[in-house]
A and B are shown apart, each in its own frame.
Chain A
Amino acid sequence: MRYRKHATTAALAAVALTLAACSSGGGSSQTPTGGATASGDNDYAGETLTVLVYENDESAMGKAWREAAKIFEEETGATVDYQITSFEDLSDTASQLFVSSDAPDLSEYNKGNGTAGALSTLGVLQNLDGFFESYGWDDKLADSLQTTTKYDENGVMGDGAHYGVPNYGEFVFLYYNADLLAEHGVEVPETLEDFEAALQTFADAGMTPLVTSAQEYPAGQLWYQLVLNDADRSFVDAYQLYDGEVDFAAPPAADGTAKLAEWVEKGYVSRSATGMTAEDAGLAFINGEAPFFYSGSWWYGRFLNDITDFELGIADFPGSTLVPGSSGNLWVVPTVTDELHTQMAAYFIDITMRPEIQAILGNAGGLPVAADPADITDENAQALIELFNEVLDRDGLAFYPDWPTATFYDDLNAGLQGLINGSLTPEQTAEQLQADYDAGTEQFR
C-alpha cells in the first residue's frame, strides 16, 4: 500500500511540478483574473465531457444530473462520461487528481474553506467569474448561497472570485419517527426544554432516543447545533470567517460541549456512537430503533424511499435560530481542463441550473436553488423546501463545524469521540479542540 501510494503521489507530484514550472510562477492561483466567458457556440459534436460526481443515482442530485447529461448530449452532440466516486475518495485525492492527466473536466467538490477554498489557493481550480456573468448565475443564486462560491486569496469564503457553482442547498434538522412519538405520548418538541423532556421519556423507556455517529460527521454537527443554540451570528463569523476570537472553554462553545456530555451521561446519546458510522446511525433510524436522528437534508430522499413501516417527520432543531447548512457541493472546473472543455463544462453547469432540471432535483427530495416553486408538485418535497425557506428567511445557515481548518473534520471527530466514550472531560475536549483549531486557523488570522 505504502509503496504504491508513494509511486502515485510522486508521479502526480511530478506532474504538478512540471505544470507549475510551465506557469507564470508565484505560489498561488494562476488563473487569469476574471476567468473565461461563455463562447456562445455550443456545438461540440465528437467531443467528450468527463464529469465526476459523488451523489449516487438514487439521490435527488443524481437524478437531476443524469437528466442534465442527457440534455447536454442532445444539444451539443458531445458525449458525457459521467463518473461516480465516493465523497471520502474525492476529498482525499482531489488535490492530486485535479492536477493530473486523469482530472475530470468538471467535478462536484465539497464547499468551504478547508476544501474548495484550500484548492482555490493551490491554483487547482478555475476562476468562474466570467461564466457567472455570461450565464447570469449571479442572479439565480441567493446571496447567502454565494458565500460558499467565493474565496479570497487565502481561501476564505465569502469574498473574492467565484470558484464553484452550487446546484442545490442543504441544511441539518431533526428527523423524527412520528409513530414512536405518538406511542409514547410525546409532542414534536419546539423548545430545547421540550426536547430534553422528550429525550428523557424515551430514555426512561429504555431506548437511546437520539441516534448519532461519532466515527463520522453526525456527532460533530450535533455538537455544533448545541453550540449554535447559545450563539449568534457574531460567533459564526468568528468561528468560520475568523472575524474574532473563538474560545472553546467559554460560552457558547463550552456550553455546547457540556450539553453534549450531559446528554451522553443521561443516556440521550449512546456512548456506542463512537463505534458507529453515519450509515449505521441512519440505518438504526430507518429500522425504527430510535425516535430521533439529527442530520442533513441529504438523507431525506432515501428516508422517504426506505422508511415504510412508520411515519417520518421533519422539524427544525428545537430552539434553534442558526443551523448547520449552506449551499450544496459545488461544480468546479480544474485548471488543467483545456479551453474547449471548460466551455463545455460551463454549458453543462448552466443546464443543471435550468428550471426543469431544478424541478427534478426538488421533486426528488433535494433543495433546488433556482427552481420555479410552481414546478415542485411533490408534497414531501414541498415540506422540506418550506422548512429550508424558513431557515433562509431568518438568515439561519451557519455552515458546517469542520470548515474552519483543513484538518478540523478529523480533529473534531477525534475530540468528540473522546468526549462521548468518556475518555475526555468537557474541559479536556475544549482544550484539545482549541489547540487543533488554533493551529489550523493561525494562517488566516
Chain B
Amino acid sequence: MSARTVRTRPPEDLPLIPSGGKKPLAYWLYFIPGILLTLGIVVYPVVYNVWLSFHSWRGGFTIPEFVGLENWGQLMGDSSFWMSFRNIIFMIIAMVIIPTLVGLVLAAILFDVIGRRFSGRLASFLRATFYLPQVIPIAVAGVLFGWVLYPDKTGVLNQFLTWVTGSEVAINWVGGEGRTALFSVMLLMVWVQIGYPVVIFMAALQRVDPELYEAAELDGAGWFRRFHAITRPMIRPEVFVVALTTTIAALKVFGPVFILTQGGPNKATYVPSYYAYIQFFGNGTNKGYAAAIATAVTIVVAVVAVLFLRAQRRAEQKEA
C-alpha cells in the first residue's frame, strides 16, 4: 500500500475484490443464511405478488385463477387508481419539495447562525426538536392531528385561525369538500418530514471547513451569499439522497392516510398503497387486483429510483 497519494489502477490480473475462480465450500456456506433470507422475505414476496397480479383470487382456501392481463386492463381504466396516483404529486410536494427546501434553510441557519453566534448546544436542541416528529409513531401523530384538525370550532387549528383572523373559523379539515382533506394529510407529512433533511444537512455541513465561512465573512459575504456560494454546493450529494429517499417514501405513503382520513372523504385522499390495502384487506373480492396495484407501485418506485441515481451520477460527472 505504497500508493496512498497517487491513485493507481490495479494490475489487470489482480482484481481488488477477489471474484470468480474456485472457492472453498465454507465460502458458500456463509452465503446460505443471507440468500435464504433474501429469497424468503424479498424475492419470493415480490415474485409472488407479480404472479398474483395475473390471477383472480378471493383469498382463504380458494385457488387463484389465471386471468392474464385482466387485472392490469381493469387497473388502466380505474379512475380511483389514477386519482390515487395524482394524489402522490401532492404527497411529493409535502414530503420532498417543502421539507427539502425548508430543511436546507433551517439547517443553514442552525449551523451557520445559531450554532456560531449563540451556542452549539442550542442548535443541537433545536435540531432534536425538529426531528422529534420523525421519532413519534405515526399512530400517535395521527391522534395529535385528530385534535389539531378537529372539524368544529374547538379544533386547535380552527381556534388558532379564529384567533388570527378575529372571526370564528370552523373548517372541516379532514372531511371537507375540495382539497382540505388532502391539505390536512400534507400538513401532517410536512410536520413529520421536516426533521429528516435538517439532520442530514446539518451532518453534511460538519464536513465543510469552517475557514471557508470565516473567509467569506471577512470578505463581506452576507448570510444568503454564504448559503448560496458555500452551503448549497457543498451539500448537494445529501440533497440528492434526501430527495431520493423521501420521493420513494412519498410514492408508497400509507400510514398518514390510514390514520387521518381512511381515504375519505369520498376516496379523495386515496394513495396507491392505501388503495391496494383496501382491495386486499378491506374485504375486496379480488386479491389479484390488489397485487396489480402493489406491483404497479413497485415498478414506479424502481423506475423513479433508477432515474434519480442516473441524474445524480450525471450531475457528479459534470462537476468533476
A residues apposed to B, CB below 8 Å:
1-3, 5-7, 9-11, 13-14, 16-17, 19-20, 23, 27-28, 30, 91-93, 95-96, 98-99, 114-115, 118-119, 121-124, 214-215, 270-277, 280, 335, 406-407, 409-410, 413-415, 417-418, 420-424, 440, 443
Residue B152 interfacial (CB < 8 Å) = yes
Residue B115 interfacial (CB < 8 Å) = no
A198 to chain B, nearest CB (A): 21
Q: Report if A407-B52 is in contact (Cβ < 8 Å); known contacts: A413-B264, A415-B266.
A: no
Contacts of B298 in A (CB 8 A): 2
The 6 closest A-B pairs by CB, nearest first: A122-B60, A274-B175, A275-B175, A272-B151, A275-B151, A123-B61
25 contacts between A and B (CB under 8 A): A1-B273, A2-B273, A3-B45, A13-B52, A17-B64, A92-B281, A95-B59, A96-B59, A118-B285, A122-B58, A123-B62, A214-B264, A215-B175, A270-B151, A273-B175, A275-B174, A275-B175, A406-B284, A410-B263, A413-B264, A420-B175, A421-B177, A421-B266, A423-B266, A443-B285
Decide if A414 touches B61 in the complex (CB within 8 Å): no
Contacts of A272 in B (CB 8 A): 151-152, 170, 172, 175
Per the CB 8 Å criterion, the residue count for chain B at the interface is 52
B294 to chain A, nearest CB (A): 7
Decide if B48 touches A423 in the complex (CB within 8 Å): no
Residue B164 interfacial (CB < 8 Å) = no
Contacts of A115 in B (CB 8 A): 283
A196 to chain B, nearest CB (A): 23
Contacts of A421 in B (CB 8 A): 172, 175-177, 265-266
Contacts of A417 in B (CB 8 A): 175, 264-266
Decide if B266 touches A424 in the complex (CB within 8 Å): yes
Q: How many A-B residue pairs have CB under 8 A?
A: 163
Decide if A20 touches B61 in the complex (CB within 8 Å): yes
Contacts of A124 in B (CB 8 A): 60-61
A277 to chain B, nearest CB (A): 8
**Further contacts, 13 of them, CB under 8 A, given A1-B273, A421-B175:** A2-B297, A3-B45, A6-B46, A16-B60, A93-B281, A122-B61, A122-B62, A214-B175, A272-B170, A276-B151, A414-B264, A417-B265, A421-B176
Residue B68 interfacial (CB < 8 Å) = no
Residue of B nearest to A8 (CB): B45
Residue of B nearest to A440 (CB): B285
Query: Do most interface residues of chain B lie in helix, strand or loop, or is the interface mixed?
Result: loop
Decide if A27 touches B59 in the complex (CB within 8 Å): no
Decide if B280 touches A9 in the complex (CB within 8 Å): yes
Residue B41 interfacial (CB < 8 Å) = yes
Contacts of B170 in A (CB 8 A): 272
| Cα of A11 to Cα of B37 in the assembled complex, Å | 13
Q: Report if A274-B61 is in contact (Cβ < 8 Å); known contacts: A2-B297, A6-B45, A13-B48.
A: no
Decide if A423 touches B62 in the complex (CB within 8 Å): no
Decide if A275 touches B150 in the complex (CB within 8 Å): yes
Contacts of B261 in A (CB 8 A): 215
| Cα of A122 to Cα of B152 in the assembled complex, Å | 44
Q: Report if A335-B61 is in contact (Cβ < 8 Å); known contacts: A13-B52, A407-B283, A410-B282.
A: yes
Residue B134 interfacial (CB < 8 Å) = no
A88 to chain B, nearest CB (A): 9
> For residues 201 through 239 of chain B, which have their beta carbon under 8 Å from a beta carbon of chain A?
none
B residues apposed to A, CB below 8 Å:
41-42, 44-46, 48-49, 52, 58-64, 146, 149-152, 170, 172-178, 252, 254-255, 261-268, 273, 276-278, 280-285, 294, 297-298
Contacts of A27 in B (CB 8 A): 62-63
Decide if B45 touches A9 in the complex (CB within 8 Å): yes
Partner of A275, one of B41, B48, B172: B172
Decide if A422 touches B177 in the complex (CB within 8 Å): yes
Decide if B61 touches A16 in the complex (CB within 8 Å): yes
B177 to chain A, nearest CB (A): 4
Contacts of A420 in B (CB 8 A): 175
| Cα of A424 to Cα of B278 in the assembled complex, Å | 22
| Cα of A280 to Cα of B54 in the assembled complex, Å | 42
Partner of B173, one of A3, A92, A275, A277: A275
Decide if A407 touches B282 in the complex (CB within 8 Å): yes
| Cα of A5 to Cα of B48 in the assembled complex, Å | 12
A411 to chain B, nearest CB (A): 9
Decide if A28 touches B262 in the complex (CB within 8 Å): no
Contacts of A23 in B (CB 8 A): 61
Decide if A99 touches B61 in the complex (CB within 8 Å): yes
Contacts of B149 in A (CB 8 A): 275
Decide if A10 touches B278 in the complex (CB within 8 Å): no
Decide if B151 touches A6 in the complex (CB within 8 Å): no
Contacts of A10 in B (CB 8 A): 44-45, 48-49
Decide if B266 touches A406 in the complex (CB within 8 Å): no
Contacts of A6 in B (CB 8 A): 45-46, 48-49, 294
| Cα of A30 to Cα of B276 in the assembled complex, Å | 29
**Of A115, A122, A215, which is in contact with the most chain B CB atoms at under 10 Å from its CB?**
A215
A416 to chain B, nearest CB (A): 8
Contacts of A418 in B (CB 8 A): 265-266
Decide if A123 touches B177 in the complex (CB within 8 Å): no
Contacts of B268 in A (CB 8 A): 423
Contacts of B41 in A (CB 8 A): 7
| Cα of A20 to Cα of B65 in the assembled complex, Å | 13
**Of B49, B277, B298, which is in contact with the most chain A CB atoms at under 10 Å from its CB?**
B49
Contacts of B52 in A (CB 8 A): 13
Residue of A nearest to B58 (CB): A122
Q: Report if A407-B62 is in contact (Cβ < 8 Å); known contacts: A2-B252, A214-B175, A423-B266.
A: no
| Cα of A273 to Cα of B151 in the assembled complex, Å | 8
Q: Report if A2-B61 is in contact (Cβ < 8 Å); known contacts: A10-B45, A423-B265.
A: no
| Cα of A409 to Cα of B280 in the assembled complex, Å | 14
B196 to chain A, nearest CB (A): 17
